[in-house]
Structure 1
Amino acid sequence: MKWLDEYSPTAIADLVRQVVPQLSDLPIVTRELVNKDEPMWWSSSAVLGGRYVAKFAWSRPAALRLAHEVAVLDALSRQPAVPYLPKVVASSTDPLLLVTELVPGTSLFEIVDAIDRDEAGRQLAHFLVELHRAGDRLGEVQPAALQPATTDTLRARIGKWILPEQLPTVLRWCDWADEVLATPRPHVLVHADLHGGNQVWHGGELRAIVDFETAGTAEPEYDLRAFPGTGPGVELVTATMHHYRELTGNPLNTARMMAWHLRTALSDILWRTEAGTPLADHRTPPAWINDLTTRFNALGL
């Protein structure tokens, strides 16, 4: 496997020329880089001619994640294909490059207030059911790579960033999450990073799920850990769970889903505030704790 020696327009253009020469004359528009100082995240994407997305890496850790995504998409696109995958135009590991068709649309975050959340939940459940059934296509798969902070880490460090009167509640939640997740559940293939930014929607239609770099094995509820925080209320997650049960006959466990959501939300608070990075919606950690309280109440937990 060979990855880029550096991040530069010249290096990207040469990479495209080697793997997909028929696209090499298209203009290349790169993204603004983040995490420039951390080799773990030295990967990015560029748009080719407004029609294709090219993903590449320039460090070994980032290259391993992208190579994993290449393998995952190759396996899941075999018939019967998992729905809502991006269409792969070209892929290579020597040199490393993944090119998919650009899917017009917007993220779920941008349109969730305007769509029918029951219908959105039906489409998301369809994707999840087929993905969770597809693990045997990949052979032996490692556990999902993207894991939230442990409750021990959260107990030790979260108090600095929230209101003193909120800390006892957060500590109680951590104890509850430990109890809920103490008994292991059977694992399936999960996307592992299924937040709204990795979903492409056009109007009320799901067009594509992207970014399979961290796909791996985990319990089914793990894939819904971002859903309670997407949109107003908890209608999207409850609709998705309802349709998942209708399609499979197997109910997802609301408490386990919420335990993973709790750990994910608190982890986001922790790493973003410690890094001096704003929270995703640019609100405060105490406001996020209040949101968690509202979600627990809405779900009857």
Structure 2
Amino acid sequence: MRWLAECSAEALGEALRAVAPELNGYRVTVPVAAPGDPLWHKSSVIVGDRYAVKFAWSRPAALRLAREIGVLAALSRAPALPFLPDVVASSTDPVLLVTRLVPGASLFQVVDAMDRDCAGRQLARFLAALHHPSAGERAQAAVGEFTGAQLPPPIAMALCEPLARWVRPEQRRTVVRWCEWADAALASPGPTVLVHGDLHGDNQVWDHDELRLVVDFETVGTAEPEYDLRALPGPGTGPGVELLTAVMRHYAQITGRRLSPERVMAWHLRNALNDVLWRSEAGIALPDHRTPPQWVDDLALRFDALGIDPVASPRQPGQA
């Protein structure tokens, strides 16, 4: 396996000439490479308004991209998963992935105008196919055994004290109880399937109500099915949970397996509060440019909409 020596137009152009000579002649530009963890020494660029090219210039980043290449190749073989990128060319010497560019918008840009039931049916179709045992078997046969998705850690002890600085005083006790509930809810692991691992709105390409593409398979791993739904309640999809409930409803119809809204919300809570904490501590705006107290208010609305009371209810995830 070989990766780019540097993040430069020259290095990328040389790799493209070797891997996808049909792209020769297109002007290539790359972003300015920022210093930091070599794991993130990777990027993607648009070439010729028709192709998306992913590349890496460090070993850790190249290993992740090489795994994505292998996973996409495995999942594209019959019976192919729906909504996968169309791979035009790929290589591990040098590590490079070229996919066909599909016009559209992220989920965040269209969610307010879409039919949530229609959108939920399409997302459920993708997730049901991805979570099927055969998908995991094919992917692991291609790239080796997965060690698991990058799960957010337990939060009651690790997060609550530093998080208290960023929420309103009257929210602090509620957040602590939520954290304790989530840790208890996820203490016993669920069944393991192949998961996308990062299914947020910007990794989906939509044409109004039509799902065109799911992208970024670098974080594919193994986890319980509910883990893949943790971003669907928001932020970016509003305080409501119509899209989430539609996905769960259609998923059950397709697979015959009921997903636990409690477990989804426990993962969602961990994900959201981890995001609030690290961004606030780093002085980086939250994705929707609102405040941590507003995020906590929205979490409360989502719990209410799903009929979950993590403060008072002793009910465990999966129970009726």
Indicate the TM-score class for this superposition, using the shorter chain for normalisation.
over 0.9
Distance 1:237 1:31 in 2: 35
Distance 1:32 1:250 in 2: 46
Over 3 Å counting, the alpha-carbon distance change for 1:109 and 1:137 in structure 2 is: same
Distance 1:242 1:104 in 2: 29
How far off is 1:27 after superposition? Answer: 2.2
Return the letter of the residue paired with 1:9. A
The one of 132, 142, 151 aligned to 2:146: 142
Q: 1:4 is matched with which residue? A: 4
| CA contact 1:149–1:264 (8 Å) conserved in 2 | no
How far off is 1:62 after superposition? Answer: 1.2
| CA contact 2:149–2:195 (8 Å) conserved in 1 | no
Aligned residue pairs total 300
The one of 221, 237, 252 aligned to 1:231: 237
Find out whether 1:187 has 2:192 as its counterpart: yes
Q: 1:155 is matched with which residue? A: 160
Q: 1:170 is matched with which residue? A: 175
| CA contact 2:154–2:183 (8 Å) conserved in 1 | no
Return the letter of the residue paired with 2:219. T
Return the letter of the residue paired with 1:150. P
How far off is 1:29 after superposition? Answer: 4.3
The one of 255, 273, 279 aligned to 1:272: 279
Distance 1:214 1:203 in 2: 26
Matches within 5 A, 1:75-154: 75-133=74-132, 134-139=135-140, 140-151=144-155, 152-154=157-159
Q: 1:23 is matched with which residue? A: 23
Distance 1:40 1:270 in 2: 22
| CA contact 2:7–2:30 (8 Å) conserved in 1 | no
Return the letter of the residue paired with 1:255. E
Distance 2:110 2:29 in 1: 25
Distance 1:132 1:177 in 2: 23
Matches within 5 A, 1:282-297: 282-297=289-304
SS in 1 for 2:181: helix
| CA contact 1:103–1:208 (8 Å) conserved in 2 | yes
| CA contact 1:86–1:101 (8 Å) conserved in 2 | yes
**TM-score by structure 1 length?**
0.96
Distance 1:201 1:29 in 2: 26
What CA deviation, in whole Å up to 9, does each residue of 1:257-290 have, x standing for no partner? 0000000000111111122211000111111011
**TM-score by structure 2 length?**
0.91
What CA deviation, in whole Å up to 9, does each residue of 1:25-58 have, x standing for no partner? 122244566x643322111011110000010011
Distance 1:280 1:220 in 2: 25
Distance 1:50 1:29 in 2: 12
How far off is 1:64 after superposition? Answer: 1.3
Distance 2:278 2:153 in 1: 9
Matches within 5 A, 1:206-285: 206-229=211-234, 230-232=236-238, 233-285=240-292
Root-mean-square deviation (CA, aligned residues, Å) is 1.4
**Identity, % of aligned positions:** 58
Q: 1:56 is matched with which residue? A: 55
Return the letter of the residue paired with 1:286. P
- Structure 2 residue runs without a partner (length 5+): 309-320
| CA contact 1:30–1:47 (8 Å) conserved in 2 | no
